Structure 1
């Protein structure tokens, strides 16, 4: 089977272009993140001043027998009066950076998808035959899911935390893990390839998004809103509430569990056809099963009375770590029946 080198080169070009666009979007999201610090501080100072003024009025009213309320003492008013016009200008300015970030992310996602499609046309097969193509597909799915969720919920402050690991993964994929388009080994020349690997990759991609939100949830729990302290407190200040992050991690894990489980079962059926046995405790099979069990344990703990959500979130974070371990170390170092990374 010949390779269409033109389409393969186009895939590499669009992937690297998407990578550059994500970097620019990352920089813009960091500017938005930085502007949110001033907006949050200004809003919190105003809210604190209002509370102090309300308490002062209550004290004066009580001292006067409750007959009338008088103005709070001058000492209880904020040193810098709240300027609603300046506050609105800051909010509008931050929203512009958020809008530009979102637009760039969607442009990057479009090119990312084009890279996946043209890779398939270039290799003249489903583009999931090696580690490079697997990461290419996973990062594309992650960005599609994340961009849709963030735009819908308007949680633009999450972008720096999401784009940073995606940029690192895409850089490694275009350098260390890059493989030129070529026919796959005979064992992968089966209609089971797109069915099994796509369900596993999509499930794992959504699981990675869930794990990232669990990490942010743990950070927010450590640094509650209005009580942030130190360097990590400053980093956590623009993040959504802990409950919001936890709910999103839980909802995405609900999607991950069946998708990933279906992928494992389809892999077992394929193994029965190809190797005359459904399960052989190969390294890839074993670690994938462990990952699925961790997601199941997370959902069970999350829904069990008596379990704190923070403890359950650690299970999801551990599942994230095992997924990354399976995708990198198991694929590149451990030899087995699933050693199709193309780097061995």
Structure 2
């Protein structure tokens, strides 16, 4: 089937535009984090305001002016808007790639990494509506921008039809579910890393003057990491099971000790251990956070090293 080169070109333009907007958003998040007040300072200001004399009553017919947002707050709001705009460009690139090739746009490493990051971006925007964690934006977008840059500079593949091994409806089920799970796992991985940084500073109050003092408290970071992982784990489990069913249909066996299968199972075991550790007294906190980080590292290892260095039955998607 012929490839629509025009749509393919528009897809590439949309991808680079989305990447550029993400970089601007990350800069805006960084500005809010760098120049915004620490949570303790904001709380102190609120207490001072509570003890101050009552404001003069508003005169009839006069509309009370809402408090003006500070420059860092405006930067944070702009960052969220830019993140949403970047997500639209990002989604457009995958949509146009699919239309250009008349197939599901998950046929190679470039498309796969792009889809993983898109899921992470959407999950981040949803998280912003549930929790006041906008100051994490710089740290969340940094790995996303790095992954997108690597996908564009190292993994890029021209739009083309699917290779025969991937021409199955299972690519929509198995690969899509693994993409969603992998993208969502990025958020708890970052949250656990920042948890350790914040915890190290709380254990030594003299160091709280550092940049970590502007991070959300450890309870918030731990709760985000746990809840997102709880949501992701069943999806990841289903993705592995779906992959085994596809393997039986394509290769005549459910499990063949392929490197990608082995590392995927190792990742599953690590995340199962994290959930168990998080619910076990004595393993909460730092030990559980380290296990969660190890789980994310295994996902990244499986995504890059296994696909690009180790030869196996899953080496047909190309780079």
Alignment TM-score, normalising by the size of structure 1: 0.83
Contact persistence 2:36–2:73 (CA under 8 A)? no
State the Cα distance separating 1:47 from its structure 2 match.
Answer: 9.3
The aligned residue for residue 35 of structure 1 is: 35
The aligned residue for residue 6 of structure 2 is: 6
1:307 aligns with one of 283, 288, 292:
283
State the Cα distance separating 1:228 from its structure 2 match.
Answer: 5.7
- Superposition RMSD on alpha carbons, in Å? 2.2
Does residue 1:97 correspond to 2:70, yes or no?
no
The aligned residue for residue 291 of structure 1 is: 267
Does residue 1:116 correspond to 2:85, yes or no?
no
Q: How many residues align?
A: 302
Structure 1 consecutive aligned stretches of length 4 or more whose deviation exceeds 6 Å? 44-50
The aligned residue for residue 207 of structure 1 is: 185
Task: Map 1:137-286; keep pairs closer than 5 Å.
Answer: 137-224=115-202, 227=205, 229=207, 234-286=210-262
Contact persistence 1:26–1:164 (CA under 8 A)? yes
Distance in structure 2 (CA, Å) of the matches to 1:307 and 1:220: 18
Distance in structure 2 (CA, Å) of the matches to 1:237 and 1:188: 48
* Structure showing greater Rg: 1
Contact persistence 1:129–1:340 (CA under 8 A)? no
State the Cα distance separating 1:46 from its structure 2 match.
Answer: 6.5
State the Cα distance separating 1:242 from its structure 2 match.
Answer: 0.4
Contact persistence 1:294–1:315 (CA under 8 A)? yes
Distance in structure 2 (CA, Å) of the matches to 1:150 and 1:28: 15
Distance in structure 2 (CA, Å) of the matches to 1:46 and 1:99: 21
Q: Secondary structure at the match of 1:134?
A: helix
Contact persistence 1:128–1:134 (CA under 8 A)? yes
Pair 43,259 (structure 1): closer, same or farther in 2 beyond 3 Å: closer
State the Cα distance separating 1:94 from its structure 2 match.
Answer: 2.2
State the Cα distance separating 1:159 from its structure 2 match.
Answer: 0.6
Distance in structure 2 (CA, Å) of the matches to 1:110 and 1:273: 36
The aligned residue for residue 68 of structure 1 is: none
Contact persistence 1:22–1:108 (CA under 8 A)? yes
Q: Secondary structure at the match of 2:303?
A: helix
What are the superposed Cα offsets for residues 58-100 of structure 1, whole Å, 9 maximum, x if unpaired?
xxxxxxxxxxxxxxxxxxxxxxxxxxxxxx76x6322211111
> Which is worse superposed, 242-251 or 184-193?
184-193
The aligned residue for residue 23 of structure 2 is: 23
The aligned residue for residue 127 of structure 1 is: 105
The aligned residue for residue 85 of structure 2 is: 107
Contact persistence 1:302–1:312 (CA under 8 A)? yes
The aligned residue for residue 54 of structure 2 is: none
Distance in structure 1 (CA, Å) of the matches to 2:41 and 2:219: 24
Contact persistence 1:196–1:263 (CA under 8 A)? yes
Alignment TM-score, normalising by the size of structure 2: 0.89
Unpaired segments ≥5 residues, structure 2: 50-66
